[in-house]
Structure 1
Amino acid sequence: MKALVLSGVVGSLVLTSLAIPPGRALDAPPSEMGGTLIAARRAAAEGIRFTTCPAEEKLPPHITCGTVRVPVDYADPDGASIPLTVSRVEASGPAADRQGALVYNPGGPGASSTFFPLAAELPAWKRISAAYDLVGYAPRGVGRSAPVSCQDPADRATGPTPAPTHPSEVFKRERIARAKTYAQGCATRTGTALRHYHSLNNARDLEVLRAALDEPKLTYMGASYGTYFGALYATLFPHRVRRMVFDAPVDPAPRQVWYVNNLDQSPAFERRWADFRTWVAGHDKVYGLGTTAREVQASYEKVRVELAASPAGGKVGQGQLHAAMLDVGYHDGFWALRANALSRYLKGDPKPLIEQAAPAPETSPDAGNGRAVYTAVECNDAPWPEDFAVWDRDNTRLAETAPFETWDNAWLNLPCAYWKAPRQMPLDVRTGPGVLPPVLILAAERDAATPYEGALELQRRLWGSALVTERDAGTHGIGGGPNACVNGYLETYLLTGAVPGGTPVRRASCAPHPEPDPVSLERRAELRPPSDLPGQGVTARPLAGPSPSS
């Protein structure tokens, strides 16, 4: 990854975590580490009472739910607490073969994994779910786990919006004003607790959850952002790690978190957008959008221009179109779906595009919760440039060669320039020989949301870790997906603890899963997006997403 230089970060920072030397097992002020120990002991004594899941979780009756309480502030473990929603399906195999609980986090920040027990029904997870209880949960701030809010649902834009790839000065000023309003809304609506929604506390919460599940050591799988605070956990609590899987890993280097990581997504998304256009061009007989990637781009630009003048159904403008098209960068399961929508629109039928891109009605109290948690965690986690001139310079340069995602991502993250809460200083994720048992890293070589260089960096930092690469592929989150080779390594590791390759550098690679089959226009009604399960598109816009207006 060619990281852009982070410069122009100014302002006073309140540092609430301390860096550690390589090889140290613990990193936190004694009060916060002590608070974690107190909370974990309390959770171990209380356990989790699993009963019928609340109707809001929309889970079948064989999956049960409970709660575990974690401190809002680990420096005050006897103060206010947050109930985290936990879901579970028990291992289906013989009791003698049970290996404990497998806890999963899909990333975000801002995503819940309470759906994860449903993976037990998938073929790729059958042997794993026979050995493990599959456990999901809603992290702090998410869903019913003391939800964070930054905006009244009534204030969320639902009409068609613009999404210029090269914004004017007037448009930039308008987005600056929105970012300031949103940041202020987070501070006003969440209050003094806002500062405690960050990745270090997510890692500490994971330790409390482990204790509440009565697991001596943690078996954990995280995707995307879930790999970041999983790596924090491995650094803070290496003696509590049994097995860990990091799928589509974030680059954990402190210099990357989070401003530079977000900048690095732009060229990666541009590359993946080109992959999509090349695939569409190869199936011109089906879609009629052009025989070259350049011609497909021209077809896309034609749709953008028409939607700017006349939004489809009065709902889908450039912003909604672009937000929908970002999905092709995350998962190639969206390729036929989106290509079909563009094709039908240009042939006079806007219905598929409206169905895929129109904003869903958001009138519930938790509307916008995912974005609120995303913003709180990323803004709290690290320093950000506080002068828009830095953002303007870096993103203007990027947009010259990578216009597809650059400014969209900038607008999503811009509230961090005007954040009201104190910042953390990123922990130096690092373990030395013998500190951590072998962990497994899974990565697609052309991943856009978490570029492949991050997987290499994580492997360098977690001594003895093994990296499995899906070559020439870019789906974000590959464990449990369509690649049998990847799934073989995942299953072997979770069931036996064995990792591929030899020391000191443990690596293996898999050929890419097949590209999606084109779907004819006559079969368009049969199109379905990937499901929200591991390896099926579960990571749900981690670390990037639609602009605030979309």
Structure 2
Amino acid sequence: MVIGRAAGNAFGMRKTLQLLTIAAVAVGVSAPVAAASSRPEWATCATAVQQECAKIEVPLDYDRPAGPRISLAISRIRTATPQLRRGVLLLIPGGPGNTGLQRPTALGLHLPKDVLDRYDLIGFDPRGTGESTPVNCALTPQDITSDQFLPWPDANGDITANAAHARRVAEACAGNGGPLMQHISTPTEARDIDQIRIALGERKLSSWGTSYGTYAGAVYATMFPGHTDRVVLDSNDDPDPKRLERGWLNNFAVGGEDRFPDFAAFAAARDSTYGLGTTPAAVRETYLSLAASLDRAPRPDLTGNGFRSTMFNGLYNTSNFPLLAQVLQGVRTGGPVPAIPVPPNLQNLVAVSTATACNDVAWPRSVQFYADAVARSRSDFPLTAGMPANIMPCAFWPFQPVQPVRITPYGPDNVLLVQNLRDPATPYSGALKMRAAFGHRARMVTVNSGGHGAYLVNGNPCGDNAVTAFLVNGTYQDTTC
């Protein structure tokens, strides 16, 4: 999950409107908007010949449906067996800020034949990203480095530099992002999803959302319950409407503690290769000691916070463990450190991530609030050194956030959550809150595994088969694998 977005609570005299909205959601009614453009004109995608691509037009501002419009890029791979077709399966990307146009090809290579037989796979670039109408904060080079993507405090815990960076990013996005910057949020993405459904001519759609896409999928299922078929939410965010993205960032501290023991056990079992310690506890101490040594004396190619960021990002997938062990080994011995990939399209990713986080929920405005929170987090969760509690551009966001959508049980019983027990980015404790919010509507497949992403990622047949059975036959129940 990417953090850099905010969303909000209502202000002023909106109580009557809120009550009407809650009542409408409860019965599956949503506010009318201008219809999407006529049926998409499909053509072979320039970058993925296996799939078709098209664009549709949607309102820039759903409160002004007849006003300016923007484009959404969508893609499709048709069902492999038309006579078994059930409908469409929308693949909702994470982030926020990740693109999704290539997902029918990327994920279609892994989906079971029984699923491919029954669904057209639909991908899309959410508003502001990729081939959809893009947004850009025009950040300066000093503010777009990968080291600043997560808000690591200084070695002594000071957040003065973080606060200055957050202010610069907020001002750049507000000043350079144009009107679209104010109209990127999760409820708006849900409305965009419904416009995709309309453009496809579908009465209902099924969906598979991952990471941040679980919250987007949950909001869609809450705002438009009557238009949902089978909903899969994979690696779930905590839907607490008072915190949202701020809570997700905070949860990195919990997720890091949940997941690090998997890496520590891996390295301890290979102490003769990496020399990081013969027990998981010794590996943990080695990591903390090396991070502190880099704080005191950074290498030309690696700082303490760069080291921490590499470690945290590497916990997302067990296949990264050998590389992580080599990084620790290189720092310990003074030898070379493997090159770490830099996320692509950081300008666009930061712009959409920031807009979503800051438009979704109100964030505290006091720098001291974050300084105090960082100090507590550094004490309670030393692995992440206070980063998950730190200040973000949303503390300086000049625009009023939207009214958050509270996830509720109102709607059909058609939501399946799938969740790893040891997810560094979206921890199990947050998934339990998503499960509770949906109530009777949902069931959850709990997978005894680590990493970010559960369905078709971990090689866990029990979990994979449970999700496949739901998509194919609609059968589901709470399951532990």
Q: How does 1:89-488 map to 2 (within 5 A)?
A: 89-93=77-81, 95-119=82-106, 122-152=109-139, 154-156=141-143, 158=145, 167-168=155-156, 171-301=158-288, 303-304=290-291, 307-308=294-295, 314-352=300-338, 355-356=339-340, 359=342, 366-405=345-384, 407-411=386-390, 414-432=392-410, 435-462=411-438, 463-471=440-448, 473-481=449-457, 482-488=459-465
**Structure 2 equivalent of residue 62 of structure 1:** 50
> Are residues 305 and 160 of structure 1, via their aligned partners in 2, closer, same or farther at CA, if it must alter by over 3 Å?
farther
d(CA) in 2 for partners of 1:222, 1:11: 26
Match of 1:496 in 2: 473
Alignment of 1:514-529 (within 5 A): none
Structure 2 Cα separation of the partners of residues 367 and 261 of structure 1: 20
Q: 1:34 aligns with which of 22, 32, 35?
A: 32
| Range moving further from structure 2, 13-22 or 318-327 | 13-22
Partner of 1:539: none
Residues 408, 374 of structure 1: alpha-carbon distance in 2 compared, 3 angstrom cutoff: same
Distance 1:52 1:154, change over 3 A: farther
CA distance in structure 2 between the partners assigned to 1:287 and 1:455 by the alignment: 34
The Cα shift of 1:266 comes to 1.2
Aligned to 2:76: 88
Q: For residue 42 of structure 2, what is the aligned residue in structure 1?
A: 50
Cα separation, partners in 2 of 1:146 and 1:405, compared to 1, 3 Å = farther
Q: Does the 8 Å contact 1:443/1:478 carry over to 2?
A: yes
Deviation of 1:427 (Å): 1.6
Helix, strand or coil at the partner of 2:117: helix
Q: 1:157 to 1:103 in 2, by over 3 A?
A: closer
Tell me the TM-score normalized by structure 2: 0.88
- The whole-number CA distance in structure 2 between the counterparts of 1:386 and 1:253 is 19
Q: Separation in 2 of the partners of 1:150 and 1:191?
A: 9
Question: What SS is found at the alignment partner of 1:256?
Answer: coil
After superposition, give the CA deviation of every residue in 1:263-308 in whole Å (9 maximum; x if it has no partner). 2331231232233223311221232211123432343345435655
Residues 27/280 of structure 1: CA separation in 2 closer, same or farther (3 Å cut): farther
For 1:311 and 1:150, the matched residues in 2 are separated by 30
| Alpha-carbon offset, residue 222 of structure 1 | 0.5
Tell me the CA shift for residue 238 of structure 1: 0.8
CA displacement 1:124-170 (0-9 Å, x = unmatched): 4332122222111110111122222223353445597898767547x
**C-alpha distance in structure 1 between counterparts of 2:250 and 2:222, whole Å:** 26
Contact 2:87 2:119 in 1 (8 A): yes
Over 3 Å counting, the alpha-carbon distance change for 1:349 and 1:124 in structure 2 is farther
Q: How many angstroms apart in 1 are the aligned matches of 2:252 and 2:396?
A: 22
In structure 2, the residue corresponding to 1:75 is in which secondary structure? coil
Which AA in structure 2 matches 1:493?
F
Q: Is the 8 A contact 1:166 1:403 kept in 2?
A: no
Cα RMSD over matched residues? 2.9
TM-score by length of 1: 0.78
Unaligned runs of 5+ in 2: 1-7
* Distance (Å, rounded) in 1 between the aligned partners of 2:72 and 2:377: 39
Partner of 1:3: none
- 2:464 is the alignment partner of 1:508: no
Q: Deviations over 1:339-361 (max 9, x none)?
A: 12322454454152xx126x47x
Structure 2 CA distance, aligned partners of 1:223 and 1:130? 22
- Distance change >3 Å, CA 192–CA 62, structure 1 → 2: closer
Tell me: CA distance 1:218–1:11, structure 2 relative to 1, closer, same or farther (3 Å): closer
Instruction: Give the counterpart letter for 1:455 in structure 2.
Output: A
Give the 3 Å change call, closer, same or farther, for CA 377–184 of structure 1 in structure 2.
same
The alignment covers a number of residue pairs equal to: 468
Structure 1 SS opposite 2:206: strand
Residues 164 and 259 of structure 1: CA distance in aligned 2, closer, same or farther (over 3 Å): closer
Give, as a single letter, the amino acid of the residue that structure 2 aligns with 1:430. Answer: T
Q: Matched residues, percent identical?
A: 29
SS of residue matched to 1:79: coil
| Alpha-carbon distance, 1:330 to partner | 2.1
Consecutive unaligned residues of structure 1, counting only runs of 5 or more, are 1-8, 501-506, 511-550
State the SS of the aligned residue for 2:374. Answer: helix
Shift of 1:111: 0.9
What is the rounded CA distance, in whole Å, between the counterparts of 1:394 and 1:27 in structure 2?
A: 40
